[in-house]
Structure 1
Amino acid sequence: MYLSEDWNQKVKKTFNATSKEEVLTVSEAGALFGLTKDQMKIYVDKHKLTKVPILRSVHRYLLLKSEIDAILANR
């Protein structure tokens, strides 16, 4: 049986392979905070976190792992 990889995970893997910055998907970051994907999107906007844009997608983005780790460390 063929299992396709989640599109966000595929983009994240490609980005991490070609960049010095590690990134997380919105869902992954939300899970670390105990938030849903939609709640995390609101959190990102409210706290003006860096959104790493994904080419060819206006509404999708990745988040910098370093920013998420810093926020979690200060909790």
Structure 2
Amino acid sequence: MNVPKIGSVNVVSIATKKVFQKNVGIIAVIDETNAPIIIKILKSIGKLSNTSSTLKARNIKINAGTKY
């Protein structure tokens, strides 16, 4: 399946994934690889709180329906 990308962050469907709604307004979809890189990308664009422990050591993929 081809998925659109935002920078180097995959945009994925949330249909079969566990979803976390963050106070900063993003929907983070939890998967299992490359978390530190993705977390840094999200922090650098101001989309992820520095205090997130739930998403620590996890991969964050942005919901295709997320507004920016």
**Range of TM-score over shorter length:** 0.3 to 0.5
TM-score (norm 1): 0.31
Larger Rg: 1
Write 1 or 2 for the structure with the bigger share of strand.
Answer: 2
Write 1 or 2 for the structure with the bigger share of helix.
Answer: 1
Bigger relative contact order, structure 1 or 2, given CA contacts below 8 A and separation 6+? 2
TM-score (norm 2): 0.33
